[in-house]
């Protein structure tokens, strides 16, 4: 059993939220935390740039589980608030995208300054409600904007979007929204996308990064609840993540991986690679990997 001291000494803290009760289409994301953990067993502790992470400690504090999302929400919010106050870099493995809401709420409660969110996804998740729920996976960033220390849509940057609901379309026409959709990303190239994101987000002291695996084209990640053709390539995603860690990223998540929806497990291995490479980016910045 992990002690508080184990967590305190960790370079990175990771936890799962195996919940997919707020999806609007296909289920399966609840199985991702276990599948992604299992997929990491055979990989070496190095990044794709041949950097050695073996001297660093990743502590897995387990899952926040349950069928009652209100209970899960409160437990996650409390724990994330504690981690942020302790200045502990953390990773969350979802779960559908609704599980990012309590994580952001925990960050919001822990700090007293404005923070931003970089949302890499096929969807805005800006619905006020979806299928009668205000905590749907399609409402994640609408709830975030209501949080005191995010406060406005300008403090969120959306990347890879290629699907929009009618009320989201109305919202983005009436409010300032930073977005680079998948088609524009292809035209601009990763270097220019990173530059544009930094121009909008560098004024913020803290950044939370959320990666919905359906940001990738289904050719690279078929196992997800709401896949959308025309997405980012795996190379584009890995390269932009490397650049975004120049910003003050305090934590990140990978959500909407649904192992049961893809026999070849492309989404699981994509999620695993995103997580381990992001760990490398954080450790390079804080500890100077070689």
Count other C-beta atoms under 10 Å from residue 34's C-beta. Answer: 15
pLDDT at 18 over 80: yes
At 243, phi and psi to the nearest 5? -70, -35
Tell me what the mean pLDDT of segment 105-128 comes to. 97
Task: For residue 5, give Cα distances in angstroms to 1, 2, 9, 127, 176.
Answer: 11, 8, 6, 41, 44
pLDDT at 90 over 50: yes
pLDDT at 25 over 50: yes
Report the side by side order of strands in the sheet with 156-161: 58-63, 12-17, 90-94, 249-255, 206-212, 115-120, 156-161, 178-181
Number of domains the chain is built from: 1
Q: What is the pLDDT of residues 236-284, one digit of tens each?
A: 999 999 999 999 999 999 999 999 999 999 999 999 999 999 999 999 9
Tell me what the mean pLDDT of segment 86-103 comes to. 97
pLDDT at position 120 is 98
Structure tokens given for 57: 């400690």
Q: Which range marks the domain in which residue 214 is found?
A: 4-287
Q: Which residue has the higher pLDDT, 66 or 79?
A: 79
pLDDT at position 3 is 54
> Could you give the 3-state DSSP secondary structure of residue 51?
coil
HSE-up (13 A, CA, CB side) for residue 159? 31
CATH number for 66: 3.40.800.10
Q: What is the pLDDT of residues 124-174, one digit of tens each?
A: 999 999 888 888 899 999 999 999 999 999 999 999 999 999 999 999 999
pLDDT band at residue 2 under the 50/70/90 scheme: low
Dist CA 231 CA 209 (whole Å): 18
pLDDT at 1 over 50: no
pLDDT at 57 over 70: yes
């Amino acid at each position: 059993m992990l002690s508080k001291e184990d967590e305190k000494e960790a370079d990175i803290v990771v936890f799962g939220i195996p919940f997919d009760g707020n999806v609007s289409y296909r289920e399966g994301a609840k199985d991702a935390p276990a599948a992604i953990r299992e997929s990491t067993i055979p990989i070496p502790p190095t990044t794709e740039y041949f950097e050695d992470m073996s001297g660093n400690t990743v502590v897995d504090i387990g899952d926040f589980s349950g069928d009652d999302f209100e209970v899960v929400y409160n437990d996650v919010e409390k724990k994330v608030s504690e981690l942020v106050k302790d200045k502990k870099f953390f990773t969350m493995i979802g779960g559908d995208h609704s599980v990012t809401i309590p994580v952001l709420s925990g960050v919001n409660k822990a700090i007293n300054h404005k923070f931003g969110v970089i949302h890499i996804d096929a969807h805005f998740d800006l619905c006020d409600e979806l299928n009668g729920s205000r905590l749907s996976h399609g409402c994640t960033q609408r709830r975030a904007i209501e949080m005191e220390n995010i406060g406005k849509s300008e403090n969120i940057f959306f990347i890879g979007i290629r699907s929009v609901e009618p009320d989201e379309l109305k919202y983005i026409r009436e409010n300032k929204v930073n977005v680079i959709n998948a088609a524009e990303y292809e035209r601009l190239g990763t270097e220019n996308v990173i530059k544009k994101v930094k121009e909008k987000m560098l004024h913020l002291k803290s950044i939370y990064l959320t990666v919905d695996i359906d940001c990738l084209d289904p050719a690279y990640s078929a196992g997800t609840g709401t896949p959308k053709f025309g997405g980012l390539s795996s190379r584009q995603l890995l390269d932009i993540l490397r650049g975004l860690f120049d910003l003050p990223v305090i934590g990140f998540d990978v959500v909407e991986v649904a192992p049961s929806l893809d026999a070849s497990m492309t989404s699981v291995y994509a999620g695993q690679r995103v997580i381990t490479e992001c760990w490398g980016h954080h450790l390079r910045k804080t500890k100077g990997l070689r």
